[in-house]
Amino acid sequence: MKPLFALTLAGVTFATPLLADDPRWRDCRTCHAVEAPDGSILARGGRSAPNLYGIANRPLAGDSGFRFYSDDLRAAAATGARWTEDNFVAYLRDPDQFLRSVTGDPDAESGMHIEMRSGAREVFEFLRDLSQ
């Protein structure tokens, strides 16, 4: 079982995975936030990249509120690919290589310049759990 952080607001207790304080999420939150459809901020972060709420099984380039996806990520999305756990991990391990593999374009490049060699599965689980 994952450790939880409990927060009580107006008499309601919310429990979220403790990963919000994990160094791996700190790297993600530089650009990303997790905001529920009702506007609730579930994990604070930047606005220069897509909202990661509901990313589990969402189509690539699937945040309708984000307009700055790279052409190559849009091309990968056109294949019907989704953010499965394996795709998420592969993307974070090497974003450019992931896009090259999905699109078949040897020159495809991602707009994301971070590579995560470990911990991506835990981040995916954290995001999936926050979105339920």
pLDDT tens over the chain, length 132 residues: 333 444 444 544 444 544 566 666 778 888 999 999 999 988 889 999 999 999 999 999 999 999 999 999 999 999 999 999 999 999 999 999 999 999 999 999 998 888 888 889 999 998 998 888
Strand partners, 59: 82
At position 116, the amino acid (one-letter code) is: M
The domain locations on the chain are 19-130
Q: What is the pTM of this model?
A: 0.82
Helices (H), 30-94: 71-77, 85-93
25-29: long-range contacts at Cβ-Cβ below 8 A with a sequence spacing of 24 or more?
25/123, 25/126, 27/114, 27/116, 28/52, 28/123
Nearest partner of 40 among 51, 24, 50, 30, judged by Cα: 51
The angle at the Cα of 99, spanning 95 to 102, to the nearest 5 degrees, equals 140
Fold annotation for 19-130: Cytochrome Bc1 Complex; Chain D, domain 2 (1.10.760)
